[in-house]
Amino acid sequence: MSHFKIRCSNCGKELGEVYCAFCEHCKDALLVTEYKERNFRTDNGKGIWRFNWLPVHTPFFEQSGTVVYRSAGLADRMGLDDLFIAFNGFWPEKGAQLQTCTFKEFEAAVVLQNAKENGVSGLIVASAGNTARAFAHLSVVSGFPIVIVVPTMCLMEMWYLESSLAIPTLAVGDGDYADSIDVAKRIASVVGFPFEGGVKNIAKRDGLGAVLLESVAAMGKLPDHYFQAVGSGTGAVGVWETAERFVKDGRYGARPPALHLVQNLPFAPMLRAWEKGSRALFPDDLRPELIGQITTRVLSTRYPAYSVKGGVYDALKATGGRMYGVENREVYRAMELFAETEGIDIVPASGVAVAGLQTAVAQGIIKKKETVLLNITGGGEKRLGKEKRTYDVEPRMVSKKITEKEIEELLCETLKKNY
């Protein structure tokens, strides 16, 4: 018997064994995982597998988790008494061992394990950078076949570990991340591997929610406030869903933390919709030319998980959350501040989160003694570079107009050679 069920977040209908889908009745409502054990446990195994609230049964590879600690330097600079940092990256001195320097490793690990247990033989994954690196690495670790599709515009920020270079990777030369998602879905229909699924994938959301599992295990309570940079917002939704499980447990707090989600201006479609009180996004805020003006293209999807039932809009409403927008110059200053006060480098997306926290503190939104959890979604790339060789990604170039015949010719031989 499985330790979880899958239920529609809107109508409550329980579904059978599904890998990745919407509710057959509600169509646009996210499915959620309902774990049979109400109480949170940490004795299931090692790394992230020690948590009982993950949709996997018998993991066959190891995966380290988040390092959570109470901040001294950054907290003092911001005037906060109870600031905790969830560091996701490579920082051996602190115990952080994520080889790809990103919390996307949790997503990849849980998705691949869940897919294997559901009889899936391979996956097609779309990414703007970090997800690609994490899935490529975990594909090698687990031996699970994947094909990755990325936009060419993000290649300057992308790198792989040496062991991941053989993973089939395609770059869409005439489009952005949203176009890469479209191409990935078409490849899935031709090759026979399912599309990884984005926010619809319960394993993806619960895997990203592992940051909160590790944080509550370390803190012994839910925080009052949670800060994270967002592109699709899938990770924030996963944290909200995980927080609701802690509330039902009853031992860690009576309410979920307020979500404070930050986007990099001027590409901030969720922020603009939220400011107007709208569930729907506005086309003018999704213009591709805005993406070229931000420093964090990993946060640049035109298909965010905002409007869907059970998505970012609902998460913000349910937690009394807020959204912020920060300029590129604020991002760089925040990165420097974190390195100066905490002693480790962070990636620009993490700088977006730090800058958002600075804004909230300056506006008096966060009180001195409130408990704050800051998700540093990626860091330690410079630290990793001192110990390991990393490589630029050299993908096969394709067009967003690629035909089914071209997909067959391009991938069938590649997949046969690699898998």
Residue ranges in the chain whose pLDDT is less than 70: 17, 24, 413-419
Residue 214 is which amino acid? E
Partner residues linked to 302 by β-bridges:
none
pLDDT of residue 418: 66
Q: Which of 195, 135, 191, 209 is nearest to 167 (CA)?
A: 135
- Alpha carbons 160 and 126: distance in angstroms, whole number: 15
Tokens 């109400």 — which residue?
A: 38
296: which DSSP letter? -
Token representation of residue 33 = 């995982």
Does residue 229 contact residue 263 with C-beta atoms inside 8 Å?
yes
93: which DSSP letter? G
Give the count of beta carbons closer than 10 Å to the beta carbon of residue 119.
8
Does residue 247 contact residue 256 with C-beta atoms inside 8 Å?
yes
Tokens 């959570």 — which residue?
A: 68
Write out the residue limits of the CATH 3.40.50.1100 domain(s) in the chain: 67-102+203-384, 121-193+390-418
Query: Would you identify the CATH topology of the domain 121-193+390-418?
Result: Rossmann fold (3.40.50)
Token representation of residue 402 = 């690629």
Torsion angle of C-alpha atoms 159, 163, 168, 174, degrees rounded to 10: 10
- Alpha carbons 198 and 26: distance in angstroms, whole number: 18
Torsion angle of C-alpha atoms 284, 285, 289, 292, degrees rounded to 10: 170
What pTM was computed for the model?
Answer: 0.96
Residue 202: which residues within 8 A CB-CB, separation 6 or more? 6, 20, 31, 32, 33, 55, 114
- Alpha carbons 47 and 38: distance in angstroms, whole number: 21
pLDDT of residue 17: 67
pLDDT of residue 112: 97
Token representation of residue 283 = 């086309």
- Alpha carbons 294 and 129: distance in angstroms, whole number: 15
- Alpha carbons 124 and 224: distance in angstroms, whole number: 37
Q: Which of 196, 200, 209, 194 is nearest to 35 (CA)?
A: 209
Helix 104-117 / helix 130-142 crossing angle, nearest 10 deg: 50
pLDDT of residue 72: 96
pLDDT of residue 390: 78
Residue 407: which residues within 8 A CB-CB, separation 6 or more? 186, 187, 190, 191
Does residue 30 contact residue 311 with C-beta atoms inside 8 Å?
yes
Query: Would you identify the CATH topology of the domain 67-102+203-384?
Result: Rossmann fold (3.40.50)
